[in-house]
Amino acid sequence: MIFDILTLFPEMFRSPLEESILGKAREEGKITINLFNIRDYAEGKHRVTDDYPYGGGKGMIMKPEPIMRGIEAILAGKPVARVILMTPQGDPLRQEVVRRLARHARLVIICGRYEGVDERVRAVVDEEISIGDYVLTGGELAALVVVDAVARMIPGVLGDEGASEDDSFSQGLLEYPQYTRPREFAGRTVPEVLLSGDHQAIEQWRREEALRRTWKRRPDLISRAGLSDEDQRILDKLKGSSGTD
């Protein structure tokens, strides 16, 4: 999969994209990430990429010409790509959005800055995405979140096929509790069912704990999780009991 990122600050991406899973995926050719500096597409001696807003107001607005030229250069001769604008005004980034984006062979991501981009840039944007209801200094960190979330859905990036299937949100629920050695730590022990070797009992425990955790921490997810009749029975039991964690 190819990620083309249009930004004023390409150096912000260097270290995160060279480390850990993303770095290895790039080395193995499972993903390709190209960084494009918006200033390279600006005109004039000073390569200006922003200007004052018409009508007045605080801050500066990113000019349309450099961004549009950058997109045209990126798409030249290879136009099949989904163009994304990172903006607090965009649709929330959820796991179902991540899965959908991962089905594309190529994503072009525009990183906004300052008070935003000239409205006319949106004419070439296929999708606007926000990573949360808060404002960052720019779209670079948000773009890294998108790259990381989408890349781990690409076959082979996580190593084992299906390794992401049990992650929080992948099945519509938060992930169940996880434990490793030592068996006892700070007076707390690993649940006996996980030591039993009974895979059916373990899977049942994990499903119940995922339902419990989601109901307690993110009840808003329950309504769209697509619960089975058995899930609903477990949930009803949890709601009817007291003293659950």
| 8 A C-beta contact, residue 222 and residue 169 | no
- pLDDT tens for the chain, residues 1 to 245: 999 999 999 999 999 999 999 999 999 999 999 999 999 999 989 999 999 999 999 999 999 999 999 999 999 978 789 999 999 999 999 999 999 999 999 999 999 999 999 999 999 999 999 999 999 999 999 999 999 999 999 999 998 655 556 566 667 899 999 999 999 999 999 999 999 999 999 999 999 999 999 999 999 999 889 899 999 999 999 998 855 44
Eight-state DSSP code of residue 184: E
Rounded CA-CA distance 228/163 in Å is 23
Strand partners, 62: 50, 117
What does the domain layout of the chain look like in residue ranges? 2-151, 184-240
* Active-site amino acid positions: 88, 115, 152, 167
Classify domain 184-240 at the CATH topology level: Trp Operon Repressor; Chain A (1.10.1270)
User: Does domain 2-151 sit in CATH 3.20.20.70?
Assistant: no
The predicted model scores a pTM of 0.88
